[in-house]
Homo-oligomer: A and B are copies of this chain.
Amino acid sequence: MILLDGKTNAQKILNDLKSKIAKLSAPLQLDIILVGDNPASVQYVSMKQKKAQLIGVKTNLHQLPSNSPTKEIINLIRQLNVDNNVTGILVQLPLPSSLDTTLILNTIDSSKDADGLTAANLGLLFQKNPLAIPSATPFGIIKLLETYQIDLVGKNVVIIGRSPYIGLPLTALFLQKNSTVTVCHSYTQNLKTICQSADILVSAVGRPNFITSEHIKEGCIVIDVGLSPDPQTGKLVGDVNFETVAPRCSYLTPVPGGVGPMTIASLLENTVNISRNKEKAQNPLI
């Protein structure tokens, strides 16, 4: 079993981005909106800022109280949309449940959507449109698989999770790579049997030990996107029961050090691509 090393690969991507950014004439600025003080979100935003700074992307943090109304956040996004200094905009999820997350995300100008979460970019991705900005986590997963030269053509991919942030854009990307894709979720019957047919299994559930050896065909490639606190230790862990699953896999992403670092690298790659698209853009989009 080979560990899919997101940490090292993300660092390589960041190094590449750094040299690309050094050659750009205009500075890059990523505006991050953080609502409330959820500790995991605060930590995640701080990691994103650190990596951005390392490669020469300026970040601008807009920290708002958790009781901010949807309208206020939308107004802020509208200002950022028309601000020429802003390269990319990112809203840190999850937002407090009182807010209309979809409406807020869809307010982001799709050409500045660094995390690739607007409806426009999701639709463009399913259209295989080269102008699509892909959702960062799925983009990172595909890049990690490609780094290891894993052939995706004709592979049976089973994705557990149908969120518009991970499961669905990942479906679009695997279909672009000519994989056959099955999307499973909480209503799926006989999940284990379906998982056993997978050449590549992606779990984006957020429940520790959800994936055990019983889900795994010998030689399966397993991508662990889950991140939730272990009920015993409180430490953030993935969906996969590593001890029993690892021996049956050909490749497996560790948690931490797998998908997580690739997500941040992809966010920053999106930001660099936005500034390039801006130069190329002539066609009106949607």
Contacts and interface: CB of A to CB of B under 8 A. Distances in A.
A12 to B, nearest CB: 29
Contacts of A121: 123
Contacts of A162: 175
Contacts of A178: 185, 187
Interface residues of A, number: 43
A183 B164 CA distance: 17
Interface stretch (A30-38, A222-230, A278-286): A278-286
A122 B204 CA distance: 22
Contact of A187 (B106, B153, B286): B153
In this complex, the member of A126, A128, A175, A194 whose beta carbon has the largest number of chain B beta carbons within 10 angstroms is: A126
26 contacts: A102-B127, A102-B129, A106-B127, A106-B285, A106-B286, A107-B284, A118-B123, A118-B286, A119-B120, A119-B123, A119-B126, A119-B129, A119-B286, A120-B286, A122-B122, A122-B123, A126-B168, A154-B187, A156-B189, A156-B194, A162-B175, A171-B183, A179-B187, A180-B189, A180-B194, A181-B182
